[in-house]
Amino acid sequence: MQKIYLLFISTVLFLGCKSETANITPQVLGTGERIEVNYAEGFEIEAFKDFKIITINTPWPNAKETFRYALVQKDAQVTIGEGFDAVIEIPIDSIVVTSTTHIPSLEMLEEGNALVGFPNMNYISSEATRKRITEGKITELGMNENLNTEVLIDLAPDVVVGFAVDGSNTTFDILKKTGIPVLYNADWTETSPLGKAEWIKFFGALFNKSEKAAELFNTIEKDYNEAKTIAESSQTRPTVLSGAMYKDVWYLPQGDSWAAQFIDDANGSYLWKESKGTGSLSLNLESVLEKGKTADFWIGPGQFTGLEPLGEAHSVYRQFDAYKNDNVYSFTTKKGATGGVVYYELAPNRPDLVLKDMIKILHPKLLPNYELYFFSKLK
């Protein structure tokens, strides 16, 4: 989009002149119509007549800076001035994303064909996207931490959607200098199950499909809340253990985490619910055994896909009641054609299915006709 720098709107109005174009900068923006975002804390969207503004509030944990992106309708009579971190003409036609969690949003919006590049494509489990990979329609871009900038520049996508853990990414800096817009997507920083799913509205704005994105999310929200209500009807609240050992440390979700929220909403009692934080706890084996030995269920035992391999990895695992009673469930058993774990890709976008899985595990009689989607009982 050609940029023609004009006087600020305020100056134009002061002189009483009329112009078909207006120069838009963050300093002269009024208040647009705020697109409804009820659960996600990391972004917000304002809609104006010919453009939208996406603000990323939390691009990475403990970030002190925000990012603002201007999405301008093609052929709109506005010119974007300085002050935005990226300017994109919408609707976009081509996109590069860098996390498998972005792919379901594209497919749900029926924009999967817009994906032209991805780093380490073996992680992708979606059958539809794997078909496009086989057909040579998606380009391999190397590793996420070290994207192949030469190939990416040749692809010339309308936008690259990336993520960062601390804001230092030289690849993104290089891309920006070439004129390829880079947008941060921070869905992974959300701790609310519905908060993660609501990032579909971020992609909806890029494709001029905000209404469709809202409809899709509203359906997921409705199904999630209905399932939660069903779980609340149970008179029992089974206890839950999670995680597994890596070397000499047992890692399990902290009490404010996404995983812990699912257990709570499924009317389960996560034994470490009172711990503070949204990441993972690092505990010694003795403390986990003391607290979790009599847990009713063990959900998410690391990478293990069978009871025998689990028991052989560490003899102490066999001491847990959940192991003895065959009540160990994992999400790592279901994978795509090249080994990508379906849960890692799709679960953030479909928390309603994760919650139903949890309810089916903890209270099977409440969902008699439901079959587990992500989880499997270890055998």
242 & 203 share domain: no
From the number of C-beta atoms within 10 Å of its C-beta (0-12, 13-18, 19+), residue 253 rates as buried
208 within a domain of the structure (yes/no): yes
Locate tokens 């209270």: which residue?
363
- Residue 172 inside a domain? The answer is yes
Q: d(Cα 378, Cα 265) in Å, to the nearest integer?
A: 23
DSSP 310-372: HHHH-GGGGGSHHHHTT-EEESSS-B-TTS-BHHHHHTTT-HHHHHHHHHHHH-GGGSTT---
346: closest CA among 97, 105, 59, 96? 105
Contact yes or no for 298/269 (Cβ under 8 A)? no
Does residue 280 sit in the same domain as residue 157? no
pLDDT value of position 13? 28
Residues 71 and 202 in one domain: yes
228 is a domain residue? no
Q: Are residues 33 and 181 in the same domain?
A: yes
Residue 225 in domain = no
242 and 307 fall within a common domain: yes
Phi, psi (deg, nearest 5) at residue 238: -60, 150
User: What is the pLDDT, as a whole number, of residue 211?
Assistant: 97
56 & 202 share domain? yes
| Claim to verify: residue 35 and residue 60 sit in the same structural domain | yes
Contact 162, 145 (CB under 8 A): no
Which of these three, 219, 245, 265, is where a domain ends? 219
40-55 burial, b for 16+ CB within 10 Å, e for fewer? Answer: bebbbbbebeebbbbe
Residue 145's pLDDT is: 74
- Give how far Cα 250 sits from Cα of 191, 244, 254, 307, 322, Å: 21, 5, 12, 18, 16
For residue 244, the domain's CATH number is 3.40.50.1980
Classify residue 32: in a domain, yes or no.
Answer: yes
Residues 179 and 274 in one domain: no
| Structure confidence at residue 23 (pLDDT) | 61
Indicate whether 19 and 158 sit together in one domain: yes
Q: What are phi and psi of 264, to 5 degrees?
A: -65, -45
CA dihedral 261, 265, 267, 270 (to 10 degrees): 0
CA distance 214 to 34: 13
Residues 205 and 62 in one domain: yes
Tell me the C-alpha distance between 23 and 95, whole Å: 27
Domain that holds residue 268: 233-377
Q: Is residue 14 part of a domain?
A: yes
Last residue within a domain, chosen from 219, 244, 277: 219
In contact, 91 and 82? CB cutoff 8 Å: no
155, part of any domain: yes
- Look-up: residue for tokens 């590793």? 143
Distance CA 155, CA 148 (A): 11
Asked whether the CA dihedral 220, 224, 281, 256 is positive or negative, the reply is positive
Examine the domain organization and report whether 63 and 123 are in the same domain: yes
Whether 3 is covered by a domain: the verdict is: no
User: Domain end: 185, 219, 253, which one?
Assistant: 219
Whether residue 269 sits in one domain with residue 210: no
Q: pLDDT in tens for each of the 379 residues of the chain?
A: 433 333 223 322 222 333 344 566 655 555 678 999 999 999 999 999 899 999 999 999 888 899 999 999 998 888 777 789 999 999 999 999 999 999 999 999 999 999 999 999 999 999 999 999 999 999 999 987 789 999 999 999 999 999 988 877 788 888 989 999 999 999 999 999 999 999 999 999 999 999 999 999 999 999 999 999 999 999 999 999 999 999 889 999 999 999 999 999 999 999 999 999 999 999 999 999 999 999 999 999 988 989 999 999 999 999 999 999 999 999 999 999 999 999 999 999 999 999 999 999 999 999 999 999 999 999 9
Residue 2 identity: Q
For residue 123, what pLDDT is reported? 96
| Total of domains in the chain | 2
